[in-house]
Chains A and B, each alone.
Chain A
C-alpha cells in the first residue's frame, strides 16, 4: 500500500494539538508537560494496518503517553497491532492501527494521546477505516436502490447519487444509462432555442429523464480507484408512459375569406387545420397536451407593379427560409388544436403565392415535480395557395390553386420520441422580409 500524498494527507488527517490546560498553569513554576503530535501516514483499511506517527516532545522526558482508539459515531472499529484499543508510549514512535470494521461516517474514529491524569487528550487524530473494497450504493429520491427494480414514468426526473467515503482515491466515476434515444438530460425550451440536453455521465451524481417507455432498463455505475480497483453497481428501471398515441388531422380546404374593413384573407376554411390527439396515459396519471409547432419553411411570393418579391416571415435570429419555433412555446395546450396560416391580401398587390411547411409535435407532461415534457410524435403538414387580384376597387381575389393538410393523409401522425429542435423564433409579428 503506497503512502498517501501530502495533499491527501492534509485532506483527511486532522491532527489536533491540545495542550493540557494544566500545562499552561504550571509552566511558570514547573517544567511543562510533553506536547504530542499525531500524523496519519497510511490509510487504515478494513483487515489491513494503517500507520500513524506519534511525536512526543521534549525527547528527554520519560513521561508515558497513553494512546486510545475510539469510534464516536457509526460503525467503524480499529485496534492496535496487539488487538487492544489502548497503548502506552514513552517516546516518539510509529504506530500501526488495524482496521476491523469500516466506518460509515467520515472522521468518526479517533486516535487520542493522553498524559497521565489529564482531563483532555494531548493530541487527537480523526481517521476512517475504509472498506477493503469500495462498495458504492446508488440512491434515488433518498432511498438506497442499489440492485433493485424501480417503477417510474417518462419525463420523471431521475437523479441518482452515489455517496463514497471521501477517503477513497477515486480515479473515475461513470454512469451507463442505455440507448441514447431512450433518455435525455433535459428539454430546453426558450423562444430562440429548444431541444434535448446532454446527460452528465461522470461524477457521483447523474440526472436524466426517460423519454421512451420500456422495462428492464439497467443503469450502471462504474467506479475506478487510482490503484486500479473497480466496482460496479446498478439499478433497473421499468418505465411507464403513454401508449397508443395518435393524432387525427382533419382536411383543410384553402379559401379566400373576407377580413375586416374590406380586406381579404387567403387561408384555410373555418378555424383551420385541426389536430386531435389521443393516447392512453400511464395508470393513475392525467392526460395533457403540449403542442409545439416548428415552421420548416414559409415562402411567400408577391407580385407588385411588375416586381416579383420573395418574402419570408421575419424570424429571430434570421432564418433563411422562415424556419423556427412558431410563435411561442408551447404552441397550445388544448386538444384539439388548430392552425390557419392566413395571409392578408392587399389590393395594391396583383398576385400572391405562399408555400408553408410545418411540423406539429405532440408532447406529454407527467405533471410530477421537476418533470419535463416528452415527445409522442409529430404531424408534417403543409399549406399552399396562389391567388390573383380580380378587382382592386372591391379587393376581390381569385384562388388559382390551393392545398392544405397532412403530408401523409393516410397516416398523418408519426410516432417519435425525438424532441423538437429549434434555433430561431418565428413570432409572426411585424412585416415580411423580402428580397
Chain B
C-alpha cells in the first residue's frame, strides 16, 4: 500500500509564549536541580527538578512535555554550548501541537514544591566521558513572560 505522509500545518493556539521573549524572574518560582558530585555512569540521565512556589499566593503551572516546559542551557568543559540533537529538536517543537498529550495542572501553595524529571540525554545526548554545566529555565504560566532559572549544576559523566 502506498503511504503518503503529509503534515497538517494546523496550529494549536495555546496560550504559550515563546521562551525567548521571556525575562528572568527572581524569587517567584525557584527551580532546583540536584546533581551528584560523583561521576555519573547512568546512560539515560534524567535530572530531577524541584519547583517551589516562593510567593505568598497559590501558583498554578502545567506539566506537559519536558521539552516544552523547560529550556536547557548545556555547556561542555570548554564553555561551548551543546546543541540539541535532532531528536531533541523534534521533541521540543511545541508550538505546532494539534493534539495535546499530558497537561497536568499543578497548584502550589506558598512554599510548596513539586518535582519533575528532565531527561537530558534524550535532548542532548551528552558524550561520555565529559563534564557539562546545565541550567534549566521555564516560564511561569501565572506570571506571563517571566522566566525562572535553576541553579547551574556540573555533571561529570563517566563511561
Contacts and interface: CB of A to CB of B under 8 A. Distances in A.
Interface of A: 190-191, 259-261, 263, 265, 267, 271, 293, 298, 300, 302, 304, 309, 311, 313-314, 316, 326-334, 337-344, 346, 348-349, 354, 425-435
A341 B113 CA distance: 26
Interface of B: 3-15, 44, 63-68, 87, 90-94, 96-106, 114-115, 117, 119, 122
Contacts of B8: 302, 304, 309, 311, 346, 431-432, 434
A356 to B, nearest CB: 9
Contacts of B97: 344, 428-431
Contacts, number: 132
B67 A427 contact: yes
Given A263-B12, A300-B99, A431-B96, A328 B117 contact: yes
A429 B68 contact: yes
Contacts of A326: 101-102
A433 to B, nearest CB: 6
Given A316-B87, A328-B65, A431 B100 contact: no
Given A259-B13, A259-B14, A191 B99 contact: no
Contacts of B6: 309, 434-435
Nearest to A327: B102
Contact of B93 (A327, A430, A435): A430
A344 B16 CA distance: 14
Nearest to A348: B10
Nearest to B90: A430
Contact of A342 (B68, B90, B100): B100
A123 to B, nearest CB: 44
Contacts of B94: 429
A382 to B, nearest CB: 15
Contacts of A329: 117, 119
Contact of A429 (B14, B67, B103, B117): B67
